[in-house]
Amino acid sequence: MRGPTEAFKSAHPTCVQAPHKVVPWIQSVRGFASGVFAWVPMWEIAQTLPGARAFHCAMDRLHPRAKEPRIAAAAMGGGNLLLAALPSVERRRLIARGELVELTSGDVICEQGERISHVYFPIYSFVSLLSSMDESSRLEVGLVGAEGMLGISLMLGVDIAPGRALVQGTGSAVRLGAEQFSRELVQSPGLEQTLKQYLYIVMSQLARTAACTRFHVIEARLARWLLMTRDRAHSNDFYLTHEVAASMLGVRREGITESASALQRRKLIRYKRGNVTVLDGPGLEAAACKCYSAATQIYARFMKYRGCYC
Ligand SMILES: [Zn+2]
């Protein structure tokens, strides 16, 4: 069975991101289609029908093999860089055993101290990792998007979440059960090696974040955080309130207002009613503390990737 064409994927991005969303009428044809059309080139049929997106999404329910190329297309096309770094045999096997899910901004995937039930490889979604002292004192210690994964402590044999995982950006992710992931680690040396390198990157990010919070000024930290968010949102436009930024950076709301105004006066960003637009990426990088470029370089060195992730 062939995968979707590029034109179809670009016309139906949500379908690629959320193939589990199916309209009811499609489900009613499941028995007929699974029996008769199981080996018919579904992609071509789907592209010609009214309501093609729903039909396309329904293919995951109709025939389990149909989901594999679609998850692969999302993981590679968009895509999660850790999955993309795996040997193809291991990547195909892991993708076949995972599922594509939609994460929604504001959702809490797990709380600090809870058991980790799943690992996530974000594609278009991104998630904040928050460390809390108490209910009112939280600090973001990591931001995970398509460059990383959630649940990396399972690599160490620990299934307790070290912090709260809060979805910041709505979008898709590949998800595996924790036990399935642990089995994959045993039989996938490429996965184990890739995630060991990623674990080092996470450790260096945590160390850098601690020093950044102590030594760098709010405006530079805000610029860094906006760049990190831009990279993981795959867009220069994203939504952000002062309250969220303040809690992410562990500062007062007034500090964010002042710093955002300064960046806006320098024409580096536009900020209106929570909508942020990065107007001058290189200028914002120059305004950010060195932690942004340092983290990008570490990621590039160990993951052999030259993009803008920290
Ligand atoms: Zn810094």
| CATH at 89 | 2.60.120.10
Measure 295 CA to ligand 1 centroid, in angstroms.
10
Q: pLDDT at residue 300 above 60? A: yes
Residue 73: per-residue pLDDT: 53
**Is 295 inside any structural domain?**
no
**Is 262 inside any structural domain?**
yes
What are the beta bridge partners of residue 102?
A: 172
188 vs 304: which has the higher pLDDT: 188
Domain ends where: 157, 186, 212?
A: 212
Return the sign of the alpha-carbon dihedral for residues 79, 82, 86, 89.
negative
* Angle of the 67-74 helix axis to the 52-62 helix axis, nearest 10: 120
Mean pLDDT taken over the chain:
78
- Same-domain check for residues 85 and 208: yes
Give the contacts of 120 (CB within 8 A, at least 6 positions apart). Answer: 101, 103, 109, 127, 149, 150, 151, 173, 174, 175
Structure tokens at 129: 């990792």
- Same-domain check for residues 95 and 203: yes
Q: How confident is the model at residue 132 (pLDDT cuts 50, 70, 90)?
A: confident
Burial label for 230, CB within 10 Å (0-12, 13-18, 19+), is buried
Structural domains counted in the chain: 3
What are the beta bridge partners of residue 137?
A: 134
- Same-domain check for residues 198 and 87: yes
43-76 pLDDT tens trace: 333 333 334 334 333 433 434 444 555 555 555 5
Nearest to 8 by CA among 40, 37, 38, 46: 46
Question: Which of 68-72, 89-93, 224-228 tops mean pLDDT?
Answer: 224-228
**Is 284 inside any structural domain?**
yes
Q: How confident is the model at residue 39 (pLDDT cuts 50, 70, 90)?
A: very low
Domain range for 57 is 6-75
What is the layout of strands, in order, in the sheet containing 164-169? 108-110, 164-169, 126-134, 137-144
Residue 196: per-residue pLDDT: 94
Burial label for 30, CB within 10 Å (0-12, 13-18, 19+), is middle
- Same-domain check for residues 150 and 262: no
Q: Residue 17, Cβ neighbours under 10 Å: how many?
A: 21
d(Cα 265, Cα 242) in Å, to the nearest integer? 17
Mean predicted confidence (pLDDT) in 145-160: 95
Q: pLDDT at residue 123 above 50? A: yes
Residue 71: per-residue pLDDT: 52
pTM score: 0.74
Residue 105: per-residue pLDDT: 93
- Same-domain check for residues 84 and 204: yes
Return the sign of the alpha-carbon dihedral for residues 100, 247, 286, 296.
negative
Residue 79: per-residue pLDDT: 85
- Same-domain check for residues 29 and 50: yes
Least confident interval from 5-19, 61-75, 123-137, 231-245 = 5-19
Measure 192 CA to ligand 1 centroid, in angstroms.
30
Measure 289 CA to ligand 1 centroid, in angstroms.
5
**Is 302 inside any structural domain?**
no
211 vs 71: which has the higher pLDDT: 211
Mean predicted confidence (pLDDT) in 15-31: 36
Structure tokens at 96: 């076949």
Give the contacts of 91 (CB within 8 A, at least 6 positions apart). Answer: 72, 75, 83, 84
Residue 8: per-residue pLDDT: 37
Measure 77 CA to ligand 1 centroid, in angstroms.
31
Residue 23: per-residue pLDDT: 32
- Same-domain check for residues 199 and 257: no
| CATH at 281 | 1.10.10.10
Measure 149 CA to ligand 1 centroid, in angstroms.
22
- Same-domain check for residues 99 and 135: yes
